[in-house]
Amino acid sequence: MENVQNFISENKDRFVEELFELLRIPSVSADPAYANDVRKTAEYLADKMKSAGADQVEIFETAGHPIVYGEKIVDPNLPTVLVYGHYDVQPADPIELWDSGPFEPVIKKTEIHPEGAIFARGACDDKGQMYMHLKAFEAMNKHGNIPVNLKFMIEGEEEVGSVNLGIFCKEYKDKLACDVVLLSDTSVIANDTPSITVGLRGLSYIEVEVIGPNRDLHSGVYGGAVANPINVLSQMIASLQDENKRITIPGFYDDVEDLSDEERAAMNKAPFSLDNYKKSLAIEDVMGETGYTTLERTSIRPTLDVNGIWGGYIGEGAKTVLPSKANAKISMRLVPNQHPETITKLFQDHFESIAPEGVKVTVSPHHGGFPAVTPTNTPEYKAAEKAMEQTYGKTPIPQRSGGSIPIVALFEEVFGVKSVLMGFGLNSDDIHSPNEHYGLFNYFKGIETIPYFFKYYSELKK
């Protein structure tokens, strides 16, 4: 292990250089204009996977973006870890809010990252975190005895719902057989407060359209007599939450798993400063479901949010117009036991039922995903815990996250195994936002911790 760690410290500059190369390719999965770059990213990765020492490296075509696969089978008697990650990124816009180019990585120091952080789209989510695994593997392959069998599966469609990866997992179930899945696509509480993610929320994502009159109208001639789709949509959306910020869709909470008072007390012991939270967001106060703390609102409670809304005149100056339609994109984060299709159906029925006469409402579901929870009494959790103890000098705290990685529930369904969500990012790293970044501390800490995970996992799994 000493050799492995030495190799890592001797190669830090190169590890950053290589990540820079990766970050320069704009692998935006949502926008077809970037399809070629997405492919180039897959090719770059396949190349690096090979040179790190993986066998059977292959780029698998899908109906969408390709999947990069590689493996190192050391001994069939050893446990097998499937490492998952994603090389696609979110769109960079609004681009004018970036201080430097989203695909021109640079290192800058920040208050939270005094040692410097890499600024680029995907730096944290998930190129930086995924690439740690290839570098940890390279180090182990050079200087250690790899104590497990390894399979790498890196996809290019996580940010658009992982539909084709789901199909791939079912088709190649035998090839992908494993004892556990390991991924780094979540966060720690702070750099001096390590944590392991033990829950992810599910997702139901919906687009709605409200259509009124057959054309845009003069808002003086017709206003007040004809339903205005933007007014109507605003009222419909506002009615989806009551004064306690509870979601009003009938049946929405039916399947929600309530935590015991003890469980809630335990999770609220996690270090969290509401003052710092508000300060970091420049808000006077937080807002959410009555009776729950901010930690609970962002992990064990379901939510409903408008992600985008548009319609009418938004150009310069004033145009007096009563628009013919209005649209919105709405997401609901789901918690254990809630079923994305059931929730989507409840939303659809309710939203259609509250539409007033005089407008037509259409509800179109987008991708969704199941929530996931992982137990803490397994060899894989214990291995991650010991690995982080080793490198952080502190026992990591188990914590549920508010984000979603829908494929994790599918891994459990198809492979029958749990996942270890050993992420190293920070919630303040601005993933999906302008100026996304990833701390050098976090990048190297990840690379250093991963080999220990394999060591302890192989010992505990026996």
- The least distance separating Mn ion from the CB of residue 329, rounded to whole angstroms, comes to 16
- The least distance separating ligand BES from the CB of residue 160, rounded to whole angstroms, comes to 7
**Closest-approach residue to ligand BES (CB):** 403
Q: In angstroms, rounded to a whole number, what is the distance separating the alpha carbons of residues 90 and 109? A: 23
Q: Strands (DSSP E) along 312-387, which ranges?
A: 321-322, 325-334, 360-369, 372-373
Nearer to Mn ion, 64 or 379 (CB): 64
Interface with ligand BES by CB under 6 A: which residues? 125-126, 158-159, 161, 185-187, 203, 367, 369, 401, 403-406
125 binds Mn ion (CB under 5 A): yes
Nearer to ligand BES, 71 or 185 (CB): 185
What are the Cα distances from residue 411, in Å, to 72, 127, 342, 416? 20, 21, 21, 7
436 binds Mn ion (CB under 5 A): no
Instruction: Say how many residues touch Mn ion, by CB under 5 A.
Output: 3
Instruction: Using DSSP, state whether 305 is helix, strand or coil.
Output: strand
Stretch that binds Mn ion, among 25-33, 65-73, 131-139, 181-189 (CB under 5 A): 181-189
194 binds, among ligand BES, Mn ion, none (CB under 5 to 8 A by kind): none
**CB contact at 8 A, 261 and 357:** no
Q: Strands (DSSP E) along 213-266, which ranges?
A: 217-218
**CB contact at 8 A, 124 and 436:** yes
Nearer to ligand BES, 126 or 385 (CB): 126
Q: In angstroms, rounded to a whole number, what is the distance separating the alpha carbons of residues 62 and 331? A: 27
Q: Maximum Cα–Cα distance for the chain, whole Å? A: 80
The residue among 403, 411, 408, 441 whose CA lies nearest residue 424 is: 441
126 binds Mn ion (CB under 5 A): yes
185 binds Mn ion (CB under 5 A): yes
- The least distance separating Mn ion from the CB of residue 404, rounded to whole angstroms, comes to 9
Give yes or no: 21 in active site: no
Q: In angstroms, rounded to a whole number, what is the distance separating the alpha carbons of residues 7 and 342? A: 50
- The least distance separating Mn ion from the CB of residue 9, rounded to whole angstroms, comes to 27
Q: Of residues 158, 185, 430, 448, which has the active-site annotation? A: 158
- The least distance separating ligand BES from the CB of residue 278, rounded to whole angstroms, comes to 20
Which helix (H) or strand (E) segment holds residue 452: the answer is helix 440-461
Q: Of residues 88, 126, 159, 380, which has the active-site annotation? A: 88
Stretch that binds Mn ion, among 50-58, 119-127, 298-306, 354-362 (CB under 5 A): 119-127
Residue 52, both tokens: 């790190």
Phi-psi region of 283 (alpha: psi -120 to 50; beta: other; left: phi over 0): beta
401 binds, among ligand BES, Mn ion, none (CB under 5 to 8 A by kind): ligand BES
Q: In angstroms, rounded to a whole number, what is the distance separating the alpha carbons of residues 194 and 448? A: 14
179 binds, among ligand BES, Mn ion, none (CB under 5 to 8 A by kind): none
Nearer to ligand BES, 149 or 195 (CB): 195
Residue 139 exposed, middle or buried by CB count within 10 Å (0-12, 13-18, 19+): buried
- The least distance separating ligand BES from the CB of residue 86, rounded to whole angstroms, comes to 6
369 binds, among ligand BES, Mn ion, none (CB under 5 to 8 A by kind): ligand BES
Give yes or no: 254 in active site: no
Nearer to Mn ion, 126 or 448 (CB): 126
155 binds Mn ion (CB under 5 A): no
Instruction: Say what angle helices 2-10 and 127-143 make with each other, to 10 degrees.
Output: 130
Q: Strands (DSSP E) along 97-216, which ranges?
A: 106-108, 117-119, 149-155, 180-183, 187-188, 195-200, 202-211
Nearer to ligand BES, 126 or 138 (CB): 126
Nearer to ligand BES, 165 or 203 (CB): 203
161 binds, among Mn ion, ligand BES, none (CB under 5 to 8 A by kind): ligand BES
- The least distance separating ligand BES from the CB of residue 130, rounded to whole angstroms, comes to 10
Catalytic machinery residues: 88, 158
Q: Which residues contribute to the site for Mn ion (CB under 5 A)?
A: 125-126, 185
